[in-house]
Amino acid sequence: MKKGLIVLFCLLAMTGQAFAAEWPTKALNLVVPYGAGGNSDFNARAIAKYLPDLIGVPVVVTNMPGSGGTIGAAQVKNSKPDGYTILVHQLSLSIAEAAGMADYGIQDFDLGCVLSKSSPEVLVAQTKVPYNNIPELIEYTKQHPGEVKLTANTGATTMWTAIGLLKAGAKLNVVSSGGSGERLQVVLGGHADIVPLNFNMIEAYVKDGTLKILGSVSDSKSELIPDVKTLREVGVNAGYDYMNTMIFPKGTDPQKIEKVCAAVGEIINKNESYRAEMKTAYQPPTWMNVKDTNAHWYGQRDELQAIKDTLQGK
């Protein structure tokens, strides 16, 4: 009897290994819940460029924008858990849950691996505005309540920034916007006064005098902009780093998740062409394994759940 059980376990193990070796057999679909041109889109496409060589099948990127990333996230959540449909998302997923914009969260998915840490997130404005930093902005809005328009992606990380500024005393007119690609066009076109954007997206506009940086939204100071103070440094209780992550439908075979994430890790840690591309985008090549990714995400979720009433305006 014992011998028979041992043989059975060995056969099952061999079957699992063979299954993992055979999968995937068709294209992987990376779903970005934002429009083209934003940070999540950039990072998904950077990985998709190199992943086919390691995974053995094509990798396509599908943009599915809307409602702060919740439309694309819901689409993946409801997809078949076969490993072929993968969400590329960041903190906005947990923000949307805490803010009441979504009735689901990371507990309704299987987390894969962190695949990027973005360049510093900054608050920018056109150079013609009369304020040059966050304290000046707050003071100006107190004298001109409701005149300064800030765009925030409803249910996304930028909403955390908006709430932090409002709680710090800023009298802003907060309006809804799409992802970072859309926000860039909004501020360039003069349709909003201040917007949060990644540094790599606006550096050229700062250099040519079109835009100026008011402050950093990132959790910590960056060597790229050492003279720019973070929101937390000037008394605004908000700040985050974008950690784009591969997220799978609940119930996906862990072997499939590990296979994809191992390939992604090899690209990020060893592919010099990819690493050079990240350097150009001012992003440190960053990868976390499945265990560390889960710890990171659930830690952030706990923080956000603790302030969900504030995020929901209660």
CATH of the domain at 295: 3.40.190.150
pLDDT higher than threshold 80 for residue 3:
no
**What is the number of domains present in the chain?**
2
Residues 200 and 220 placed together within one structural domain of the fold = yes
Average pLDDT value over all residues in the chain: 90
Residues 225 and 134 placed together within one structural domain of the fold = yes
Cα end-to-end distance, the chain, whole Å:
63
CA distances from 173 to 163, 179, 230 (A): 11, 18, 21
Residues 164 and 228 placed together within one structural domain of the fold = yes
Where does the chain show beta strands of DSSP type E?
28-32, 59-63, 85-89, 109-117, 121-126, 149-152, 173-176, 194-198, 211-216, 243-249
Residues 127 and 66 placed together within one structural domain of the fold = no
Residues 219 and 262 placed together within one structural domain of the fold = no
Residue 16 falls inside a structural domain: no
Residue 50 falls inside a structural domain: yes
Residues 202 and 99 placed together within one structural domain of the fold = no
Interatomic CA distance for residues 90 and 108, integer angstroms: 15
Residues 157 and 297 placed together within one structural domain of the fold = no
Residue 103 falls inside a structural domain: yes
Which H helix or E strand runs over 232?
Answer: none
Interatomic CA distance for residues 152 and 163, integer angstroms: 10
Residue 14 falls inside a structural domain: no
Residue 13 falls inside a structural domain: no
* 3-class secondary structure, 183: helix
Mean pLDDT, residues 144-172 taken together? 87
Residues 110 and 246 placed together within one structural domain of the fold = yes
Torsion of CA 17, 20, 22, 27, to 10 degrees: 180
Residue 94 falls inside a structural domain: yes
Q: In 144-253, which ranges are continuous DSSP H helix? A: 157-167, 180-188, 199-207
Residues 88 and 149 placed together within one structural domain of the fold = no
pTM: 0.74
In CATH, what number is assigned to the domain containing residue 172?
A: 3.40.190.10
Residues 227 and 248 placed together within one structural domain of the fold = no
On whether the CB atoms of residues 289 and 113 are closer than 8 A, the answer is yes
Q: What pLDDT is recorded for position 155?
A: 58
Residues 217-253: pLDDT tens digits?
987 788 889 999 999 999 998 878 779 999 999 999 9
Q: Could you give the count of Cα atoms lying within 13 Å of 311 in the half-sphere of its Cβ?
A: 27
Residues 134 and 228 placed together within one structural domain of the fold = yes
Which of the listed residues 234, 267, 291 is the one where a domain comes to its end? 234
Residues 88 and 137 placed together within one structural domain of the fold = no
Residue 10 falls inside a structural domain: no
Tokens of 125: 């404005």
Residues 19-73: pLDDT tens digits?
556 999 999 999 999 999 888 999 999 999 999 999 999 999 999 998 878 999 9
Q: What pLDDT is recorded for position 192?
A: 94
Interatomic CA distance for residues 287 and 264, integer angstroms: 8
Q: Does residue 145 have a cis bond before it (omega within 30 degrees)?
A: no
Q: What pLDDT is recorded for position 13?
A: 46
Q: Which residue has tokens 């996230």?
A: 73
Identify which has the larger pLDDT, 58 or 119: 58
Range of the domain at 138: 121-234
